């Protein structure tokens, strides 16, 4: 990230962001069995501004977003809106690229002002949860709060090339004590392809539909619990813990086998759950 002067953008620090991304990877590895991606990462042109908008099922979403941003788009400067009250409590978020947004009309204007500047700058990316609150990933239809559609319309009318990429997130439990962090990207919506014909409500509906399609695809893959259908981006913690792991470790030692903490490994060897 670059330091910005005479700008509405926060004074983001690339060094601080990289350090926090390392911490986020470590923290996710401690609390999840794995971070897994279903499907490919969309290609975004070097000259396109990037907006990744994602559903908001959990407190973990920003941490996952930081890991994805640093891993998949390391060459870009990353930004994201956050409640102004939270930014007041945790001022270091500014160095991560977060900018504060108040509730109501004033906050909407602030968001559009910062986002307009952001998408005009080459090599940037914005990460946003447009549902505006924690929402169960199975809730249908997907509804987005006003703001993102208005930004997309303004960009289209100004001839700004922006790729709006939907991202679906889920955190289900499979065979392990620890949950899985699952994700899939949807088909990007490009302002240059849609053009000026849609109003803000039409944009909101188009973007919501693309996000819902991604969520449906991820829900289907998650229900199958097939690890081979996902790419493991980050390995995490495994094992049932306590006396169960001690018993399994002792059995492996007695048989001269290597102990595998994953409950799934026990199941695959043909033992009962």
CATH code for the domain defined by 14-235: 3.40.1130.10
Q: pLDDT band for 105, please (50, 70, 90 cuts).
A: confident
The answer on pLDDT for 228 being more than 70 is: yes
Percent residues over pLDDT 70 in the chain: 85
- pTM score of the predicted model: 0.85
For the chain, the average pLDDT equals: 87
Position 259 scores a pLDDT of: 47
Q: Where in the chain is the domain with CATH 3.40.1130.10?
A: 14-235
Confidence bin at 180 (pLDDT 50/70/90): very high
Long-range CB pairs of 95-100 (<8 Å, 24+ gap) are: 95/10, 95/11, 95/12, 95/13, 95/16, 95/17, 96/12, 96/13, 96/16, 96/17, 96/20, 96/66, 97/1, 97/9, 97/10, 97/12, 97/17, 98/10, 99/8, 99/9, 99/10
For residue 124, pLDDT over 80 is answered with yes
């Amino acid at each position: 990230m670059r330091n910005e002067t005479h700008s509405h953008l926060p004074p983001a620090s690339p060094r601080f962001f990289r350090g926090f991304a390392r911490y986020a990877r470590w923290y996710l590895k401690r609390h999840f069995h794995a971070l897994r991606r279903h499907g490919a990462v969309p290609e975004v042109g070097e000259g396109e501004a990037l907006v990744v908008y994602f559903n908001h099922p959990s407190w973990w979403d920003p941490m996952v977003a930081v890991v994805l941003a640093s891993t998949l788009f390391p060459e870009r400067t990353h930004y994201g809106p956050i409640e102004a009250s939270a930014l007041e409590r945790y001022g270091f978020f500014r160095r991560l690229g977060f900018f504060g947004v108040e509730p109501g009309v004033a906050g909407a204007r602030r968001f559009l002002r910062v986002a307009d500047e952001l998408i005009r700058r080459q090599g940037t990316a914005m990460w946003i949860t447009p549902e505006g609150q924690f929402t169960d990933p199975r809730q249908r239809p997907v509804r987005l709060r006003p703001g993102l559609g208005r930004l997309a319309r303004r960009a289209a009318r100004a001839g700004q090339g922006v790729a709006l990429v939907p991202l679906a997130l889920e955190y289900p439990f499979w065979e392990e004590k620890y949950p899985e962090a699952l994700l899939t990207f949807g088909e990007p919506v490009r302002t240059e392809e849609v053009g000026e014909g849609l109003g803000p409500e039409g944009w909101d509906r188009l973007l919501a539909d693309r996000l819902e399609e991604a969520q449906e695809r991820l829900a289907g893959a998650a229900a199958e619990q097939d690890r081979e259908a996902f790419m493991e981006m980050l390995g995490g913690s495994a094992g049932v813990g306590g006396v169960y792991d001690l018993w399994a470790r002792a059995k492996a030692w007695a048989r001269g086998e290597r102990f595998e903490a994953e409950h799934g490994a026990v199941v695959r060897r043909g033992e009962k759950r």
